[in-house]
Each structure stands twice: as structure tokens, then as C-alpha cells.
């Protein structure tokens, strides 16, 4: 039942995105709307051992909404598929001539859903009494920040820029675990690092 509800929610959000376009989507055909503004490849960072995704820019590229699929191979902890929707805000941009743009700090928020035999929206009430585990084994809420260096390209080229970035994030379960063990666990231990590249069209 919970899985069905989550799927309906995701479907409703995607429908609203294209039925009621945000600024920047107006006056564009459906095919133009779904054409991504960027593609992304990432290593680690809580969304898979490797992941790939597409993103859409809004508000003059101040914000990005992106969708990712990541996986963890069996020899790295068991085969898992991870689905992520990421919202990133870029408040600062430092331009160096016409060659580079540095985004020193980009706050980011993203929920992720892990699909696998050992993951579910909630723990089985047949094995555990209701409320024994209050979190979901599959759904995580992440908060973090990244740093990005964007290399500008010729505007007539297929892509207008390429970026390399690093991102640190934590999630609800990591934060609670750290808080419960804060006297013996350093603060930085609850953060995970990810590194990636982007092509912006």
C-alpha cells in the first residue's frame, strides 16, 4: 500500500512539472520541455557507487532539478538500485574572464529511494511491532552542499559548458546515528562525499 502511494505521489509531481511549467518552461513544446539542460555522471555521494542523471535549470540557472539512477554492484555491498530527485541552489557565481565560473557553495536537498530485497518503505509489522523502527529502510532524506568549477565552451558548440564538482551530504539516519553517538563519533563522520562531472547544453 505504501509503495503504491509513493508511486502515485511521484507520478503526480512529474505530471505537475510538465502540466504546469515553472518559469523557463513556459511557451515551449512538450519535447522541448523534456529535453534536459544537463547530463550528469557521479561517483559515490549516497546515490549509488556510480550514477547518471539529467537535470533542468530554472531561474536563470540559479536552481537545478535533476533526476538520477544509481547502482551499487554486488561486490560493493550487494546489488542495489537507487532513484534520486535532487534540488540544487547556486547562490554565488565567480566568473574568471570568459573561461571559468566557480560556484563556491551550492546547497542541495534530495530524497532517494533504494530498491532491493532488503529495502522497503517501512519495516514489516509481521517481524517488528509497529513503531519499533520509525524510519524507512528504502527512503532517505539528504541535505548537503557542493563546490563546482564550470569550464565555459563556445556558444556554438554542442554543449555550452562542462563542470566538475564535489559534494558532501548527510541524511536523516546518519544524523540521528551521529547524535546518539556524538561523544565517541566525530561530526564529519556523518557526511558522505561524491564527485562528478556535468555537461550543460
Nearest alpha carbon to residue 108 among 89, 135, 83: 89
Q: Where are the domains of the chain?
A: 36-200
**What is the CATH architecture assignment of 36-200?**
Beta Barrel (2.40)
Could you give phi then psi for residue 27, rounded to 5 degrees?
60, 30
Mean pLDDT by 10 residues, the chain (201 residues): 52 54 58 88 97 96 96 88 97 94 98 77 51 67 98 84 97 93 94 97 91
Rounded distance between C-alpha atoms, residue 46 and residue 101, angstroms: 26
Q: Measured at the alpha carbon of residue 47, what is the angle toward residues 42 and 69, in degrees to the nearest 5?
A: 75
Indicate the pTM of the whole model.
0.78
Amino acid at each position: 500500500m505504501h509503495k503504491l502511494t509513493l508511486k502515485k505521489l511521484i507520478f503526480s509531481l512529474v505530471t505537475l512539472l510538465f502540466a504546469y511549467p515553472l518559469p523557463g518552461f513556459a511557451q515551449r513544446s512538450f519535447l522541448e520541455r523534456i529535453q534536459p539542460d544537463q547530463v550528469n555522471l557521479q561517483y559515490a555521494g549516497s546515490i549509488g557507487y556510480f550514477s547518471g542523471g539529467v537535470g533542468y535549470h530554472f531561474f536563470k540557472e540559479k536552481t537545478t532539478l535533476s533526476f538520477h539512477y544509481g547502482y551499487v554492484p554486488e561486490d560493493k555491498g550487494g546489488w542495489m538500485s537507487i532513484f534520486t530527485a535532487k534540488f540544487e541552489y547556486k547562490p554565488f557565481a565567480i566568473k574568471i574572464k570568459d573561461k571559468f565560473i566557480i560556484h563556491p557553495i551550492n546547497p542541495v536537498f534530495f530524497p532517494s529511494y533504494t530498491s532491493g530485497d532488503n529495502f522497503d518503505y517501512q519495516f514489516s509489522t509481521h517481524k517488528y511491532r509497529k513503531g519499533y523502527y520509525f524510519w524507512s529502510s528504502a527512503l532517505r532524506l539528504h541535505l548537503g552542499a557542493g563546490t563546482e568549477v564550470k569550464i565555459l565552451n563556445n556558444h556554438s558548440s554542442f554543449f555550452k559548458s562542462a563542470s566538475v564538482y564535489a559534494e558532501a551530504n548527510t541524511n536523516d539516519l546518519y544524523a540521528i546515528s551521529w547524535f546518539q553517538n556524538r561523544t565517541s563519533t566525530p561530526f564529519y563522520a556523518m557526511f558522505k562525499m561524491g564527485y562528478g562531472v556535468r555537461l550543460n547544453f
